[in-house]
Each structure stands twice: as structure tokens, then as C-alpha cells.
Amino acid sequence: MPRRGNSLERILGRIDDLDPGNLAILVQRLAREREMLETVFNTIKDGILVADRQGVIQYANAAARALIGLREPDVGTALLWKVMPDLARSLDFAPNEAGEMPPARALTRELEITYPERRHVRLYVVPLAPNRKRSTEGRFAIILTDITEQQRSTRDLIESERFDSVVMLAAGVAHELGNPLNSMNIHLQLIERQLAKLPAGAVKKKVQESAKICVGEVARLDGIIRNFLEAIRPQPPDLAETDLLAVLAEVLALQQQELENLGVRVELDLHLRPPPVMGDRNQIKQVFFNLLKNSMEAMTHGGRLRIEARVDDAWVYLVFADNGVGIAQADLPRVFQPYFSTKRGGHGLGMMIVQRILRGHGGQIALESTPHKGTTVTLQFPLKSRRIRLLEGGSKPVEHPTGGKG
């Protein structure tokens, strides 16, 4: 008899000769072997699936079940193309008229799955080679690696580089605009001096009024450019213990008259006072101003803005929900891009600046919107204790994978 690879194979080779007692021992040993393999595979972070020609998922480890939303009792009956339609379409695994899947071929690919949550995965598909004793022909294994965080880091790096290029361009344009404005201001001052020497008269008075208007407009443009540069110039936050609700109260007080003029009702759900966070008071105030401005511009007379505070073990959340015109789903991915705006006359930098400030604080911003129903913006700040733990561990604050949903 040919030599076999291990004692279990030797026993299996003589299975027909085993008495009931030895057969029971063999079954127990196989059960222990299976339990050990299950434990090993369930400790692997990558998802592992095995399916047959009919598309039935015959095996799925714990990581795979969590990744694709598959219940353990459904293993052995669930169909791949029904459980994972995104994967089946991507791999051209649609069943034929006989209900069979096409022969699998070795390949690797990245794709996005949308259920049970939106994730980016890298998959590797490989046909299983036939076995002498138990044929595996037509079966294939799928290895799923969750690369969502890797994709997010890459996207953040691209957005950061894009932001830096926009800032450099904007700063250069603003600087070039400042030079002619300074020249205009000097010449307007000279004109005013020359006008003062002329005899009084209606013409002199009219020209003086025009010159005064020009001086005021030049000063206004200079102020706009100065504020613009202050807003977009990357400045590391000057972190100090900050009461978010106190800053919010200041901003609401300053905007109260404008809110009343527009008929916007502000509802505060701030029964739970969050603990202080490490933040830059001025930068956080700018965030609140930008969000209030966006909400006011999105609502018609008589709108409602609801502000809610929440806390969990690691984060403080401030939620701004208005009932304005909302944002089209197709436009949502572009909201934080520079120079994109859904408002006529909008410069498209406000939300980009808000996102930059939140990231500078180790937090993030999440946005949901439905056209004609409203927009909800969730700001997420790390608790002071969490930031201290991260710094002690030599790490940087990381973004919460739920995108601000706590």
C-alpha cells in the first residue's frame, strides 16, 4: 500500500476495516480536528469563502460572515450571487440556465460592497484543485481583505494634497490682487488731497463722494482678501481645554438677529453637557459660523435648525440638522471638494475649511442630506482623555469608521 502523508490518512485508508469502537474514536478525532481548524480560520482577519459550481457557499469563516452579512446557519444553503450580488457581478458569476456558476478562474480584484455596510475589499479567487479521495472540482475559494481604512487613508492624503495646492493657488491670487488694491488706495488718497485744494462747488462735492465710495470699496475688498487668507491658510490649532457649548452659545448670540430676520427657529437638545475637549476656540467658532450660515441659506423663511449634543466613551458629537432644501445625492461626494457649491454665488471653500479644522482637531465631519427635506451635519471631537491616550501611545488620532455615527 502506498505511503500516506499522516496517521489520519492511514486510518482513513482502512476505514472499511474499523470496528464500531475504533470508528467512534475516529469520529471524535475528526471532530477535534475540525474544531481546531475552525478556531484557526476564525482567528484570521481576512474573510474566507468556499463555494461550489451551483454558487452555494459551503464554508465561511467569522470574518467573511461579518463582512458580507451572512448568518452562520445559512452556510451550506445561501447562494453567492444572492448574498453578494456586487461580487457576483464583478466576477461574472451569474448562474447559467442550469443554475450552475461558470468555472472559476484565478484572479485578484478590488471592489466595493454595499451590504451590510459600504466597504472596499480586495479579493483573491482561486479554483480548488481536485482531490484523489474527495473531488473538489468546480469549487473555488475567495479570500476577502477589508481595505476600507487603507482606501480612506489614501483618499485623505489625496484630499490633503489637493487642499494644499488650492491654498497655494488662492494665496498667490490673493497676494496679486492685494498689490493693485494698495496702488488704487494710494492714488485715491492723492485724488482726495487734490480735491481738497479745489474751490467748493457741486462738481467737487460729487467727485469727493465718489472718491469716498471708492476708498470704502477698496478697504472692503482688502478686508475680504485678508479674511480669506486667514481662513484658508493652514494653521495648526492652538489647543486648549474648550467648552464646545460655550463657544456655540457665543456664535448663536452673534447670529441671533440674522436668525430672527430669516425666521429661523433654533431648537437646542443640550440636556447632556459634554465634557471639555482640546480645541482651538477661534477655529471651532469658525466651524459653527460656517454651518449656521449654510443652514440659514438653505432654509426659506420659517425654517428650523436643531442642534444636539451626544457623548460616548471616546467622542463628543454635535449634530446640526436643518429642514432646508437639502443636497442631491449625486452632489454629496463633492461637498468637501474645493470650489464646489450648490449655492449661487458660493465660493465652495466653506465645507472644505470645516473639514480641515475638524481633522486638525483629530475629529471628523459626517454629512447626510435629502433633497427638499434637509441636511444633517455631525461634528465629531475626540474626548480629552482619548487624545491623551493616543499621544502617550505615540499615535495620531484616527477617524472613527462609522463616519460620525457613534
pLDDT digits (tens, 9 = 90+) for 73-82: 999 899 887 8
Q: What percent of the chain has pLDDT above 90? A: 16
Would you give the DSSP letter of residue 332? G
pLDDT above 80 (res 250): yes
Q: List pLDDT tens digits, range 331-374.
A: 887 887 766 666 655 556 778 888 888 988 989 898 898 888 89
Q: How far apart, in Å, are the Cα atoms of 279 and each of 110, 355, 366, 392?
A: 38, 14, 19, 18
Q: Is 296 helix (H, G, I), strand (E, B) or coil?
A: helix
In words, the CATH class of domain 152-232 is mainly alpha
Fold of 240-392: Heat Shock Protein 90 (3.30.565)
pLDDT at 42: 82
- Kind and range of the H or E run holding 82: helix 80-83
| ∠ CA 258-260-262, rounded to 5° | 70
Taking each helix axis as running N to C, give the angle between helix 148-197 and helix 202-232, from 0 to 180 degrees, rounded to the nearest 10.
160
Q: How far apart, in Å, are the Cα atoms of 210 and each of 186, 198, 379?
A: 15, 16, 46
- Tell me what the mean pLDDT of segment 131-151 comes to: 74
CA 240 to chain centre: 26
Task: Report the DSSP pairing between strands 240-242 and 364-370.
Answer: unpaired
pLDDT at 342: 64
pLDDT at 292: 92
Range from 240-254, 276-290, 381-395 carrying the lowest mean pLDDT: 381-395
The stretches of 233-277 forming alpha helices (DSSP H) are: 244-262
Domain ranges of the chain: 44-146, 152-232, 240-392
The x, y and z cell numbers of residue 263, run together, are 425666521
pLDDT above 50 (res 37): yes
Q: What is the CA radius of gyration of the chain?
A: 32
What is the CB neighbour count within 10 angstroms for residue 206?
10
Would you give the DSSP letter of residue 79? B
Give the residue from 191, 212, 267, 244 showing the smallest Cα distance to 384: 244
One-letter amino acid of 191 = I
pLDDT at 388: 52
| Backbone dihedral region for residue 263 (phi beyond 0: left; psi -120 to 50: alpha; all else: beta) | left
Mean pLDDT value across the chain: 78
Q: What percent of the chain has pLDDT above 70? A: 73
Give the residue from 286, 280, 176 showing the smallest Cα distance to 230: 286
Q: From edge to edge, which strands make up the β-sheet containing 304-311?
A: 265-269, 304-311, 315-322, 374-382, 364-370
pLDDT above 50 (res 214): yes
- Model pTM score: 0.48
What is the CB neighbour count within 10 angstroms for residue 405?
11
Q: List pLDDT tens digits, range 156-191.
A: 666 666 666 766 776 677 767 777 888 888 888 888
pLDDT at 199: 86
Give the up-direction half-sphere exposure of residue 349: CA atoms within 13 A in the CB hemisphere. Answer: 15
pLDDT above 50 (res 319): yes
What is the CB neighbour count within 10 angstroms for residue 172?
10
pLDDT above 90 (res 241): yes
pLDDT above 90 (res 15): no
- Overall size of the chain counted in residues: 406
Q: Give every CB contact of residue 405 below 8 A, 6+ residues apart in sequence.
A: 366, 378
Write the CATH number of the domain with boundaries 44-146: 3.30.450.20
| Backbone dihedral region for residue 55 (phi beyond 0: left; psi -120 to 50: alpha; all else: beta) | left
Would you give the DSSP letter of residue 16? G
pLDDT at 404: 37
Distance between CA atoms of residues 42 and 32, nearest Å: 15
